[in-house]
Amino acid sequence: MVTDLDSALDALLHFSGRRTRGHSSVDTLRALLDHLGNPERRYRLVHVAGTSGKTSTAYLIRGLLEAAGFRTGLTVSPHVVAVNERVQVAGVPLPEDRFVAYVNEFLPLAAALNRELTYFELGVGLALWVFAQEKVEYAIVEVGIGGTRDATNALQSEDKLCVVAAVGLDHTQLLGDSVDEIAVHKAGIVGERNTVVVVEQDEVVLDVVRERAEEMGGRVVVATPPPGAHYQVRNLALARASVEVLAMRDGFAMPLADVTETPPARYERFACDGRRLVLDGAHNPQKVAALVDALRDDRVTAAAAMVTLLQAPDTKLASTLSLLAPVVTHLVVPEYELGDGDKVKRSFPADVVVEQARAVGISAEIVRSPDKGLAALLARPECDLLVTGSLYLASLVRPLVLGRWGDPLSGF
């Protein structure tokens, strides 16, 4: 019996064993939704893909739809604060008591399917089922990885709105080694007669999206941010263009006010005693480049940083550190491990990070854990502080920052 958020997370994580060879996430989630009576047909869908900015864009679309008077559902991954972040209704994560009650009702339904379900498939299925119970009018669903083969691509309807944020190199072992290969996966969320809104970017990506939309009998809207806009403004431009499409199609007034919803650990800014700290889960070179641009816009040029990535190719680590070098004076490098068994997430060995940091001219030190790392970071003389490299690292550090510095600053 699930009794709280921690036991709910444990139950979802350990519902199924390791994924077997030949497992199709799309087919599995489709089977689960059929088994549940197709809850996804009781509301309209907004499906958000992209390498960078998709979570922020999803939050902004949600905020704009709420401002327009609609009850929304939002599911994103990974969660940073707690597992109920994956099932958000009416602008907030479900309260713990309601989330726990739904999980206790849902797990026996999922078990009755008698089919292997991954943690991600289970979480998305739970969210889509809850949204129907909660009578949402629009559900914003973030892709996990890629698009074509992602479980969320089980969601197919002619009135699904597809949204594609910035596309770049990430998860190359799964999606391909070039931007156009990866763009094919992202554009794969576009189904029959769907409209897709894509943020202005490399023509290679736009061409792939246009080709997919033409193949599926759909149409493309390109969202054009102001020249030189940093990534948060670009995400807002994409979100506004997406909701404008819905407003025209579904006959509601576009809200006049912009929203500035900031997901946890996506350029969250904290201030205390004349010092500033930025918490950002950037975990690939494209995201880190956007983070560095935002830091420069905020006149951050000499920050002390706590940085590590999940284990990945060394080239990803080297690129990330090279991008940080112009704005970072010193690195604090922790190690951590989350989960267990085949679901464990491990950081890069700290000595490897330190060696590569020093190779690009950044002084660095090793600490034993993220909490020790934060203490070392706060002991530094720099006025500007940064924590980045992984949403998993951010999830460990964020409660500590909130405890010391209070709530993040609002707005962009």
Give per-residue pLDDT as tens, 296-310: 989 999 999 999 887
Residue 180 binned pLDDT confidence (cut-offs 50, 70, 90) = confident
The CA-CA-CA angle for residues 407, 392, 92, to 5°, reads: 45
Question: Alpha-carbon torsion 241, 222, 30, 151, what sign?
Answer: negative
The gap from C-alpha 85 to its chain's centroid, in whole angstroms, comes to: 11
With the CA atoms of 90, 93, 96 and 97 taken in that order, what torsion angle do they form, in degrees rounded to the nearest 10? 20
Best mean pLDDT range from 135-149, 177-191, 341-355:
135-149
The pLDDT value recorded for residue 261 is 77
Alpha-carbon distances, residue 331 vs 132, 307, 354, 365 (angstroms): 46, 7, 8, 6
What residues contact residue 129 under an 8 Å CB cut-off, 6+ apart? 36, 39, 102, 106, 109
What is the rounded average pLDDT for all residues in the chain? 91
The pLDDT value recorded for residue 284 is 83
The pLDDT value recorded for residue 262 is 80
Res 315 pLDDT > 80:
no
**Cβ distance 162 to 49 under 8 Å?**
yes
Calculate mean pLDDT across residues 157-178. Answer: 77
* DSSP-derived secondary structure letter, 302: S
What pTM, to 2 d.p., does this model score? 0.92
Residue 369 binned pLDDT confidence (cut-offs 50, 70, 90) = very high
The domains located in the chain, with CATH, are: 5-250 (3.40.1190.10), 268-405 (3.90.190.20)
The pLDDT value recorded for residue 401 is 94
The pLDDT value recorded for residue 411 is 64
**Cβ distance 316 to 397 under 8 Å?**
no
The pLDDT value recorded for residue 228 is 82
The residue behind tokens 């000499």 is 302
Calculate mean pLDDT across residues 213-236. Answer: 93
Query: How would you class 228 by CB atoms within 10 Å of its CB: exposed for 0-12, middle for 13-18, buried for 19 or more?
Result: exposed
Three-state SS for 73?
strand
Calculate mean pLDDT across residues 380-398. Answer: 93
The pLDDT value recorded for residue 82 is 94
Hey, what long-range contacts does 255-260 have (CB within 8 A, 24 or more apart)?
255/64, 255/67, 255/68, 257/67, 259/60, 259/63, 259/64, 259/67, 260/236, 260/410, 260/411, 260/412
Alpha-carbon distances, residue 143 vs 18, 129, 296, 337 (angstroms): 21, 17, 30, 24
What residues contact residue 94 under an 8 Å CB cut-off, 6+ apart? 84, 87, 88, 102, 130
The pLDDT value recorded for residue 324 is 94
The pLDDT value recorded for residue 177 is 58
Q: pLDDT tens digits, residue range 82-102?
A: 999 999 999 999 999 999 999
CA distance 58 to 242: 10
